[in-house]
Structure 1
Amino acid sequence: MTPEEMRDRLGPFRDKALAGGIPVADVERWMDTARPCATLGEQADGPVVGRFGGPLLLPVGTPHPFHPFVASMDFAALPADVTDLPLPPNGHLLLFAYPENFGDGECMGSAVYVPTGTAVEERDKEGWAWFEDDEEYQEVFAQFPQETLRAAADVSLPYHSWVEIPEEPRWVPLPGHPRSEELAEVWADTCEDISAPGQLQLGGYADQEAVDTDPVATAVWCAVREAAAGRWGGGEPVSDDPADWALLAEWNPWIDGLEGATVHWVVQRADLAARRFDRTYTTVFRNP
């Protein structure tokens, strides 16, 4: 989606912001931050690009991911320039996650990239660590969606309005956007009229039920901590600057008993460009 197309799509946002008394310069600066993204769902009006569930086809010899299988998508089927991420032109992306937050910021999922031509083998989708011995996990996994994913080209603006700083007052408006709180509220009011419905988003800005600060920044803090403790990252350097990271995907599970949960897969931009999807960090926000 071109910048001009994004601005056209954001017309309802612009109109509501100006009608609410926000100066045009502030509105225009906020619109300049727009990012293209893809909304994936059964009801989207674009091409079929993957599915929730389905057979789990992993590269031969790949260790079974620790978390449950969520979805797969075919990069070659995605419309051109549907995001601003440096995604591969082909191959498949497999997403894994468990949509629960245990309060310690541990990585709750992963991503596997399967390049075109890679030899694959079908695995048991219920073959991860906890499944056989825990009834609760079985009940949750039974509610994972099983449907075709179509892609709709969309536009995304920040849902968050504050950044955390080390000194008082602790939280301040996004740099360069003194009216960020008002603008984020207008976006929250208008985004459903602008964006297509769907449970999965590729690229764009991260959202969750309570979103004052950027969920990507929260994920970065967790990734840095887990990497420093040797629990994630394979011993390689991890940037603590959220600008070096991007939202790869976001999933709203809509699962009974886990209402309010949102899954974020984030990755360093350099790792994404290098096809290092194994360096994807997964966080879950849940407001029980």
Structure 2
Amino acid sequence: MNPDLINRLTPFREEALGRGIPPEDVDGWIAAARPSGTLVTGGDGPVVGRFGGPLLLPADAPDPWFPLLATLDCAALPEETTGLQLPPDGRLLLFGFPEMTYYGGSAGEVVYIPEGTPVEERNTKYACVYGAEGDQFDDTDTLAIHEQFPQEELRLAPDVSLPHHFLVRSPEGGDETVTLPGHPRAWDLAEVWDETYGDIVVDGPLHIGGYASHECTETDPVTDAAEDAQEARRHRADDTAELPAPEEWTLLAQWDIGLNGREGSTLHWVIPRQDLAERRFDRAHVSFFWNP
């Protein structure tokens, strides 16, 4: 990782050592740091996409159920900044809506459009917001949330990320959890990170790569979302194929929402690492967290 990013963790290291956490434990936590791209709506960083904007899709693509949140330029999001093997070109479209789902269902989707693919502007009323064709639908709360979706250019700021979580599922199975393996002081280190990261990381609404977080992070939100994706498959009679194990998934994007009526909520787009390497996005899963 870029040494400048590691140097930005100095306040975290000093605070952890000041609390009596052994240096080897602190350095082990820092060794787990990942690069991350924070996307902001101001500043002088390169433009890498935008919130909202026109919906541009191939003519044969189905109408998306969820509204478009952002369109990203893959070529402008290098692996050394995001830590992800994104496609070298083309556009990545993030769809989603901040609402609870049933039986682990996805709260959005990801669509990849390779460079040079013919597209046309699609004027659609998203079924998630307006209801499916022929439905009698009048959900004023849903409409009010969608009307607040941002409509701005997104600029890239290189960032650094450490785990917010400190527990993992027990190898014995079930709902039991254990301390993050290899990090006996994980709880203390995660607490220090939670109290210092605000002065270290870039303040922005959309994050690409890095570690996932939300307001009540104890276990990894990526692992939790991957388990939800598997549960959703079990509840679909026509789809019983097993997904990769939860530890084989990664964070694609995180939206820290902050809309009126959804304050403190988060959407996570997660994907199996192998799928990302193969530029396959149909199994990406979107999870919603809210602690109202």
Q: CA deviation at 1:169?
A: 9.6
| Counterpart amino acid of residue 253 in structure 1 | I
C-alpha separation between the residues in 2 aligned to 1:129 and 1:245? 26
- Can you give the 5+ residue segments of structure 2 that lack an aligned partner in the other structure? 132-136
Residues 74-83 or 217-226, more deviating: 74-83
CA offset digits 1:132-163 (Å, max 9, x no partner):
62322211100111111001010100000111
**Matched residue type, 1:211:** T
- Paired position in structure 2 for 1:204: 210
Instruction: Give 3-state SS (helix, strand or coil) of 1:100's partner.
Output: coil
Structure-2 change in CA distance of 1:32 and 1:66 (3 Å): same
- The aligned counterpart of 1:143 is 148
Cα pair distance change 1:44/1:99, threshold 3 Å: farther
Corresponding residue for 1:283? Answer: 287
Unaligned runs of 5+ in 1: none
Query: Quick check: 162-171 or 253-262, which moved more?
Result: 162-171
| Contact residue 97 and residue 107 of structure 2 kept, 8 A | yes
**Which residue does 2:64 correspond to in 1?**
65
- Aligned match of 2:257: 253
1:222 equivalent in alignment to 2:228? yes
SS in structure 1 at match of 2:232: helix
Deviation at 1:164, TM superposition (A): 2.5
Q: Deviations over 1:215-238 (max 9, x none)?
A: 111111111111233379x66431
Answering whether residue 92 of structure 2 is matched by residue 87 of structure 1, we say no
Matching residue of 1:178: 184
Partner Cα separation in structure 1 for residue 79 and residue 165 of structure 2: 28
The residue aligned with 1:124 is: 123
Q: Is the CA contact (8 Å cut-off) linking 1:47 and 1:78 kept in structure 2?
A: no
Contact 1:144–1:253 (8 Å) recurs in 2: no
Given that 2:35 and 2:161 are in contact with CA atoms closer than 8 Å, whether structure 1 keeps it comes out as yes
Once residues 84 and 237 of structure 2 are traced to their aligned partners in structure 1, the CA distance between those partners, rounded to angstroms, is 27
Question: For residues 47 and 25 of structure 1, do their structure 2 counterparts lie closer, same or farther at Cα, with a shift above 3 Å needed?
Answer: same
Structure 1 position 168, deviation (Å): 9.4
Distance in 1 between residues matched to 2:58 and 2:194, nearest whole Å: 40
1:192 to 198, 217, 223: 198
Aligned to 1:34: 33
Identical positions, percent: 47
- The structure-2 alpha-carbon separation of the partners of 1:179 and 1:156, relative to structure 1 and needing over 3 Å to count, comes to same
What code does the residue aligned with 2:83 have?
Answer: D
Query: How much has 1:125 moved relative to structure 2?
Result: 5.2
**Per the alignment, in what secondary structure is the counterpart of residue 186 of structure 1?**
helix
Contact 1:59 1:119 in 2 (8 A): yes
Q: Which residue of 2 aligns with 1:52?
A: 51
Q: 1:125 to 1:95 in 2, by over 3 A?
A: farther
State the 1:80 CA deviation: 5.3
The alpha carbon displacement at 1:112 in A equals 0.4
TM-score (norm 2): 0.92
Three-state SS of the structure 1 residue aligned to 2:282 is helix
Q: Does 1:264 align with 2:263?
A: no
Q: Match of 1:204, SS?
A: coil
Assess, with a 3 A threshold, how the Cα gap between structure 1 residues 75 and 168 changes in structure 2: closer, same or farther: closer
Aligned residues: 285
Residue type matched to 1:117 in 2? G
TM-score by length of 1: 0.93
- Specify the SS of the correspondent of 1:278: coil
